[in-house]
C-alpha cells in the first residue's frame, strides 16, 4: 500500500475534521494495515499491537482539528504509532525485568530460608549428639563451643586441670564428629534419592 496514495477530497477531509464517522472510517480502513504492520515489529503480542492501533486512531480522532491537511494525516499517525509502540515496548521490558527481579528475589529468599532451615536442623542434630555425651564432656563442650571459653577459663570455673579439659574436648569432638558425619551422610543420601 502506498502511504501517499490515500485520496481524500477536501470535502471529505473537512467532514473528517468535523467528526464525520464515514470520513474517519475511510482513513481508518486505509491506514490500519500499514500501521499494524509497523507496530507489530515492536510488539510481539498481536493483542498489544491491536490495542495500540485502537489508541492511535482514538488520538487521531481527538486531535483531528490540529491536522492541517490530508498529507499531514500519515505523519501524525506515524509519530503517534511510533511513540505508543516504543512506550509499550519499554513497559514490557520493565515488566519483564520486574518479574525477573521478583523471581530472583524469591529464589534468594527461598535459598536463604532453606539455609536457615538446614542450619536449624544441624543445630538440632548437634544438640542431640551433644546430649549423648557424658555429663562432664557436655558441660565442657558447650562452655568451649557456645560460650567460647578457653581451656584455662573452663579449668578455673570447673576446678579441673587444663589437660583434663583438653582430654574431655578431644573425646567429645571425636564422638560428635563421628555422629554428625553419619547423620550428614544419611541426609545427603536421602536428598539424592528423593
Residues 55 and 81: beta-carbon distance below 8 Å? no
Q: What backbone phi and psi angles, to 5 degrees, belong to 54?
A: -60, -45
Residues 170 and 144: beta-carbon distance below 8 Å? no
| Band (100; pLDDT cuts 50, 70, 90) | confident
| Band (105; pLDDT cuts 50, 70, 90) | low
Average pLDDT over residues 1-11: 65
Output the pLDDT for position 1: 44
CATH architecture of the domain formed by 131-193: Orthogonal Bundle (1.10)
Give CA–CA dist 139/145, Å, rounded. Answer: 10
Examine the pLDDT at 107 and tell me if it is beyond 70: no
Global pTM?
0.48
Where are the domains positioned within the chain? Answer: 3-97, 131-193
| Band (176; pLDDT cuts 50, 70, 90) | confident
The three three-digit cell numbers of residue 165, written as one number:
579439659
Residues 44 and 33: beta-carbon distance below 8 Å? no
Residues 184 and 149: beta-carbon distance below 8 Å? no
Output the pLDDT for position 110: 45
Examine the pLDDT at 109 and tell me if it is beyond 50: no
Residue pLDDT, tens place only, 133-144? 899 988 888 888
Output the pLDDT for position 181: 73
Residues 26 and 12: beta-carbon distance below 8 Å? yes
Query: What's the chain's length in residues?
Result: 194
Tell which residue, 72, 32, 34, has the closest CA to residue 53: 32
Give CA–CA dist 140/155, Å, rounded. Answer: 9
- C-alpha distances in angstroms, 58 versus 17, 51, 55, 84? 13, 11, 5, 12
Residue pLDDT, tens place only, 16-70? 888 888 988 998 999 999 888 888 877 767 888 888 889 899 899 899 899 888 8
**Domain covering 3-97 assigned CATH 1.10.1740.10 in the classification:** yes
Amino acid at each position: 500500500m502506498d502511504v501517499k496514495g490515500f485520496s481524500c477530497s477536501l470535502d471529505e477531509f473537512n467532514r473528517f475534521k468535523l467528526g464525520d464517522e464515514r470520513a474517519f472510517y475511510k482513513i481508518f480502513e486505509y491506514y490500519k494495515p500499514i500501521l499494524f504492520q509497523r507496530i507489530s515489529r515492536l510488539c510481539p503480542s498481536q493483542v498489544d499491537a491491536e490495542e495500540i492501533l485502537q489508541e492511535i486512531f482514538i488520538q487521531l480522532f481527538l486531535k483531528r482539528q490540529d491536522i492541517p491537511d490530508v498529507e499531514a494525516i500519515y505523519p501524525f499517525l506515524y509519530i503517534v504509532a511510533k511513540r505508543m509502540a516504543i512506550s509499550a515496548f519499554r513497559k514490557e521490558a520493565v515488566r519483564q525485568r520486574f518479574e525477573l527481579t521478583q523471581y530472583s528475589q524469591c529464589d534468594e529468599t527461598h535459598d536463604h530460608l532453606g539455609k536457615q532451615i538446614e542450619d536449624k536442623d544441624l543445630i538440632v542434630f548437634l544438640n542431640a549428639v551433644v546430649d549423648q555425651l557424658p555429663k562432664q564432656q557436655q558441660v565442657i563442650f558447650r562452655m568451649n563451643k557456645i560460650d567460647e571459653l578457653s581451656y584455662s577459663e573452663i579449668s578455673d570455673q570447673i576446678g579441673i586441670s587444663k589437660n583434663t579439659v583438653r582430654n574431655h574436648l578431644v573425646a567429645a569432638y571425636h564422638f560428635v564428629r563421628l555422629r554428625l558425619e553419619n547423620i550428614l551422610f544419611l541426609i545427603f543420601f536421602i536428598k539424592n534419592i528423593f
